[in-house]
Amino acid sequence: MTTRDRLTIRLTVNGEAHTVEISSNLMLVDLVRERLNLQGTRVACDQGACGACTVLVDGRPITACLSFAFTADGAAVLTIEGVAGSDNTLDTVQLAFHDSGVPQCGFCTPGMVLLAKAYYMQQPMPEGADVERWLDANICRCSGYQVFRRALHSTPPREDAP
């Protein structure tokens, strides 16, 4: 394709099917924020370092500011708006974050919740050093790391945990 091409992609975002026409150089973060108006996904560094723009694509935590929107064709995208249930009940990870005490400004929190959720989906039982390594990926400018770690450590084992 050329970078001037327009493409039509089909994807689900937070469980809802979308067919959108995009330019081939549109970033996933701009699709989510500007086209679908889901502004809980943040942009800070815009170069992959901070993780404020983290969304899950087919369950993987992805840097939406460095992913072209066309790569989400056929995928299931989860943004912070889709983490709670449709009746607004908090998901297990959100509850753990809530109970651990929300850190200061909250700018990084959507990305942190999604990163933690991806971990929780991979690992039925949150484990020591593994949690730390995983959460290292995202930056909190208010340095609320302890709270995030505490939250993930206190997330109950998944029901299917051995």
Partner 1 sequence: MIHAGGIDLANRMKRGAVPEHVVTLGQIPDLCGIQEIGGRIEIGAATRHWEIENDPMLRCRLPMVAGYIAGLGNIRIRMQGTIGGNIMAGEPGYEMLPLLAVLGADLVFADWSTGGQEITAAREWVLPRASSSKTLLLTSIRIPLRPITVAWNRELRPALGLVASLEWSGDRVLHGAAAVIGDHRGPMVREHHFTEALPAADAAPRAANIAEVWADKFPDIDVLVGPDRDYCRHVLSVMLRRVLHTMLKT
Ligand X SMILES: Cc1cc2nc3c(=O)[nH]c(=O)nc-3n(C[C@H](O)[C@H](O)[C@H](O)COP(=O)(O)OP(=O)(O)OC[C@H]3O[C@@H](n4cnc5c(N)ncnc54)[C@H](O)[C@@H]3O)c2cc1C
Contact residues toward ligand FES (CB under 6 A) are 43-46, 48-53, 63, 65, 103-108, 140-142, 144
Q: Select from 10, 15, 16, 48 the one that contacts ligand X (CB under 6 A).
A: 48
Cα 88 to the chain's mean position, in Å? Answer: 18
CA-wise closest residue to 138 among 49, 8, 59: 49
CA distances from 103 to 42, 56, 119, 129, 148 (A): 16, 22, 20, 22, 8
Could you say which of partner 1, ligand X, ligand FES, none residue 142 binds, taking C-beta under 5 to 8 angstroms by partner kind?
Answer: ligand FES
Q: Site for partner 1 (CB under 8 A): how many residues?
A: 27
Dihedral (Cα; 9, 114, 137, 162), 10-degree rounding? -110
Is 51 or 82 the residue whose CB approaches ligand FES more closely? 51
Contact residues for partner 1 (CB under 8 A)? 1-3, 24-25, 27, 46-48, 51, 54, 60-63, 65-68, 70-71, 115, 133-134, 136-138
